[in-house]
Amino acid sequence: GTTLKAAAERSGRYFGAAMGRDRLSDSGFLTIANREFDMMTAVNEMKPDATEPNQGQFSFAAGDAIYNWAVQHGMRVRGHTLAWHAQQPRFWGSLSGSALRSAMIEHINGVMAHYRGKLAYWDVVNEAFAENGSRRSSNLQSTGNDWIEVAFRTARAADPSVKLCYNDYNIENWSYAKTQGVYNMIRDFKARGVPIDCVGLQTHFTGGSSLPSNFQTTLSSFAALDVDVALTEADVTNAATNQYQGLTQACMNVPRCVGITTWGIRDSDSWRGSENPLLFDRNSNPKAAYSAVLNALNAA
Ligand code: G3I
């Protein structure tokens, strides 16, 4: 394959990117997106604060704009995200206990009804673990430890067609406590029949030696629990070629690694822009890391 998506599709995988609504008027971005990518994630537009700014008042214009552009250009879409400690609707901040729990359920139902049958994946819950492997404290966690499984059960009922993912960062290193915390939750969910289909590893790598040598072990260990895995927000400090090559190779070596998404396309799109962490430079030119990724995809 001569593009990221063509190379990924050789092995039945996708290659995705994330975009904000403002990129819909950025022809440089759109040209690369259309050429290279076959999966799209909205950076902010499908998050709880964006989709339900006021209780029971849903707002889908921004998310739909991204969705429609992506689908019109032959892409699939990952939904991101339904329940998270950050970017919550302001009204969640004045709720707690059973009222907040109900608001979360109603949010999941409302958003998933709108996108029912349309999305490939939903990040149902995002970033619910602390670095030490215990649950992150948050207003949602305070509604009871079962909030995550309630979110997944609600999601399955709301749209049985979409794959339901748990998504987090710093769960790439198999030896890390947070990785083990998430792993134990997924294992428990599978054992008890809580519906979950996939784990998203954000894959925000920092520093020259940041790709854990056991990253592939993490992917295969999650996969052994009978879930798909995906690299959902990949970026690497200074786009180190060996790191990008390694993370791509790790995915290609694990049959249930379904695809890789980078969090933006050009360095100028990145939340870590000063670190130049993406595959294309500010002038839309592919960087060395682009060739490393493309070659790793084609080697499979
Ligand atoms: O839209 C407002 C604008 O009106 C205002 O003038 C400006 C002033 O700061 O803020 C704008 O909103 C910003 C928004 O991005 C859109 O650019 C928010 O402040 C800013 O906090 C928000 O950041 C987003 C961040 O999530 C918030 O948590 C990033 O774009 C987005 O890339 C980032 O994505 C997260 C994933 O969802 C989860 N994993 C980590 C990843 C990176 O942080």
Q: What is the predicted ipTM?
A: 0.94
Tokens at 100, concatenated: 């907040």
pLDDT at residue 209, as a whole number: 65
- Does the annotation count 233 as an active-site position? yes
pLDDT at residue 104, as a whole number: 99
- Does the annotation count 172 as an active-site position? no
Which of 44, 138, 202, 235 to mutate to test ligand 1, by most ligand atoms within 8 A of the CB atom? 44
From the CB of 271, is ligand 1 less than 6 Å away? Answer: yes
From the CB of 202, is ligand 1 less than 6 Å away? Answer: yes
Q: Reply yes or no on whether the pLDDT at 41 is more than 80.
A: yes
Candidates 36, 127, 149, 172; catalytic one = 127
From the CB of 86, is ligand 1 less than 6 Å away? Answer: yes
Q: Reply yes or no on whether the pLDDT at 258 is more than 70.
A: yes
Tokens at 32, concatenated: 């690369």
Mean pLDDT of the 73-86 span:
98
Calculate the CA dihedral of residues 33, 34, 35, 40 and round it to 10 degrees.
50
At 202-238, the pLDDT tens digits run: 999 987 666 888 999 999 999 999 999 999 999 999 9
Q: Reply yes or no on whether the pLDDT at 272 is more than 80.
A: yes
Name the percent of the chain lying above pLDDT 70.
Answer: 99
Which residue spans within the chain are E strands per DSSP? 14-19, 39-42, 76-84, 121-126, 163-168, 198-201, 204-205, 228-236, 257-262
Q: In angstroms, rounded to a whole number, what is the distance separating the alpha carbons of residues 123 and 146?
A: 17
Residues 6+ apart with CB under 8 A from 251: 13, 219, 229, 231, 257, 259, 260
Q: Reply yes or no on whether the pLDDT at 37 is more than 90.
A: yes
pLDDT at residue 34, as a whole number: 98
Residue nearest to atom 42 of ligand 1 (CA): 271
Q: Contact at 8 Å (CB) between 233 and 265?
A: no
Cα angle: 122, vertex 275, 8; to 5 degrees: 45
Which of 41, 43, 269 to mutate to test ligand 1, by most ligand atoms within 8 A of the CB atom? 43
Burial of residue 248 (number of CB atoms within 10 Å: 0-12, 13-18, 19+): buried
Mean pLDDT of the 9-21 span:
98
- Residue 261: pLDDT band (50, 70, 90) is very high
Kindly report the average pLDDT of the chain as a whole number: 97
